[in-house]
Amino acid sequence: MPLFVIERNFAEQLELTKEAAAAVKLINEDVGVNWLYSFLSADKKKTFCLYEAPSIAAVREAARRANLPADVIIEVSELRPEAFS
């Protein structure tokens, strides 16, 4: 399945609760996307999330349903250092 990095910009510092994360995961499952992990900026106002999804449209739909920003969505491929050893 294709991989996507989603850049999300928040007006306030992000304080994600366990319940909110579970709700996002349920929405994602309904749309057919899988949240793999995220990086949070030091000021807690930006995230970079890695998702598996069938398309950019599916990522956008999941973000819309979860009421989350999806400012930049980029399809990526994975490179691991050990592949070059």
Would you call 59 helix, strand, or coil by DSSP? helix
Res 26: pLDDT: 96
Q: Where are the domains of the chain?
A: 3-78
What number of residues does the chain have? 85
> For residue 85, what pLDDT is reported?
83
Q: Write out pLDDT tens, residues 9-22.
A: 998 998 888 999 99
Q: CA separation (Å) from 43 to 20, 21, 33, 56, 78?
A: 20, 20, 27, 27, 27
Residue by residue, pLDDT tens for the chain (85 residues) are 999 999 999 989 988 889 999 999 999 999 999 999 999 999 999 999 999 999 999 999 999 999 999 999 999 999 889 988 8
- CATH 3.30.70.3090 is the classification of domain 3-78: yes
